[in-house]
Structures are given as structure tokens and as C-alpha cells.
Homo-oligomer: A and B are copies of this chain.
Amino acid sequence: MSTPAGLPGGLTRFRINLAYDGTDFVGWAKQPGLRTVQGELLSALNTIFGPSTDDFGMRVAGRTDAGVHAGFQVCHIDITEDQLVRLGRAPFSASRLDGLLPEDVAIIEILEAPNGFDARFSATGRTYHFGIADPACKPDPKQARYVLSVSRQLDETLMDAAGKSLVGLRDFGAFCKPRQSATTIRELRELSVLREQDGRILVTLSADAFCHNMVRSIVGALIAVGEGKLSIAELGEITQAAKRTSRFKVVDPRGLSLDDVQYPEDDQLAAQAEKARNLRSDEDISV
């Protein structure tokens, strides 16, 4: 196996693509005594590779908050030669890791990472979906864990127009929890709202990265627009002011799912990681 550039000798980096139902987790990030996705993953990795003092150097593309789901999440781990020996003849396969995990976490694929790959810093974009059920939606208990129910009927066309008005490179301070020495400038590349065949409203958001609470805060604003409580012009003023407001809420995470992470071509991975590391290394990127 080749050693990715920039990795200390003897380390092999693996990319893990996974999915989870966030309902019964307090979030991605490991917390002592609490059920987290990372915690479950580390415990399964311990079984395969033996103990690790640095949590296998795990880093994740999107550090999801409590209750947030993932249809497609990416993390990486660095495995030492000693740990690799523990594998024996059995490969480090998706099905082997998956078999050690509870039902609400699933391993989609495990790949040896290309040179320069970093699950968090090489990522050039993240795509989230947010599902909403209003009274126009056919009730579906199988969806109850994955959509936010609202009691008023929403105007999805108005919401879509409001969403489009937010697209671009701008300061999203109106939608972010402020943190010292962290920029709230992001490039929102797509924000579309449509009503699906079953009546559910699906919000799709793509950006280079999102700051803390940004998706749930934008969805709160779109719901206020869809209810007729906030005009697109008012939303424009609030966005312009780039300060938090009480005109809309940070909505419940139940409808939120990280469903894609974008990476550049292999020869751009290291350069992108370098760029992002300088820009965001001390930021909170949980969503």
C-alpha cells in the first residue's frame, strides 16, 4: 500500500463513506457517556484494529448536530502498520465494519484514500436536504422521523423564490451562531424548494461549507416566508444586516440530512486541503 503524501511514514489513510439515522444520537462528535455516531464508529474500529490513542486520527466532512441524519457522510482514518497487522487476512471491508455497527449506522464504502485526501479539508462542497410536511402532505408515519411537521400550509413557490435570493457568496451572519475569529462568509451555490409527489416539501442546499445552525436557520426563514409572515424584501434586509434576528427560528433538526460531499479530482486534493485548512481550521463546522 502506498503512503499518501503528507502522512507520517507507515500510516495508511482510509476514506469511509457512511449513512446514519440521527434520531437516537446526540450528534456526530464523540462525547463521554453519550451515544454519538463517532463513538459507535470508534468502538467498532477498536474491535478491528485494537485500541488507538488518537481515535485513529478520524476527521469528518460534516460534523452533524444532535438529531441530524446523513444519507452520505465521509470521514477518514489513519491506520498504523501495527494496526494493519491486526487485520490478518480478512480485508478491512465495508461489510465487516458494518457488521459491528448498530442498525442506525451503515457503511456504504471503504476506500484507500488517494494522496492528499482529507475528508474535511479536501471537501469543496456539502449538500443538505431538509424535508417538511405541511397540511397539504399525505400523512406518512414512516417519514415522521425524517420530516419536520408544520401546522400551517406553506407556499413552496414563494419559499423557492426566497431561497434563490440567498444564493451567492455573502456574509451569512444572520443565520449563524457567532464565534470569535471565525468568518461567517460562505458561498451558497444552490437553494431550491420543491413539493414532491407525496406532498412533502424538499429544501436542497449546497455550499462550500455551512456554519453552525446555518441550514436550520435558513429553513426557519423560508418557513416564515412560506407562511406569509416574512416577505422576500424583509428577508433581503435581514440577510444584508448579517445579524441574528428573532423574525424566524432555528428549526428542529428532524428534517435535516447531509446527503452529499463533493471533492475535487485527485490531483487537486492536497491543494484544496491546504486552502481550507488555512481558512477554517479553528471554526465550528457542525450543522
Contact = CB atoms under 8 A, between A and B. Distances in A.
Interface residues of A, number: 22
Interface stretch (A28-36, A99-107, A272-280): A99-107
A111 interface: no
Contacts of A140: 19, 71, 106
A19 B143 CA distance: 11
Nearest to A21: B141
B144 A21 contact: yes
A190 interface: no
Copy number in this complex? 2
Interface string A100-132: 000111111000000000000000000000000
A98 interface: yes
Interface string A64-96: 000001010000000000000000000000010
A210 interface: no
Interface in A1-29: 19-21
A82 B274 CA distance: 75
Interface string A139-169: 1111011100000000000000000000000
A200 to B, nearest CB: 13
Nearest to A103: B144
A105 to B, nearest CB: 6
B139 A146 contact: no
Interface centre among A21, A69, A142 (most CB of B within 10 A): A142
A141 B95 contact: no
A142 B135 contact: no
Contacts of A138: 108
A104 B142 CA distance: 7
A24 to B, nearest CB: 10
Contacts of A20: 141
19 contacts: A19-B140, A20-B141, A21-B141, A21-B142, A21-B144, A69-B141, A69-B142, A71-B140, A95-B135, A98-B139, A103-B141, A104-B141, A104-B144, A105-B141, A106-B140, A106-B141, A106-B144, A107-B139, A142-B145
Interface of A: 19-21, 69, 71, 95, 98, 103-108, 135, 138-142, 144-146
Which 7 pairs show the lowest CB-CB distances between chains A and B? Answer: A106-B139, A21-B141, A103-B144, A104-B141, A106-B141, A20-B141, A21-B142
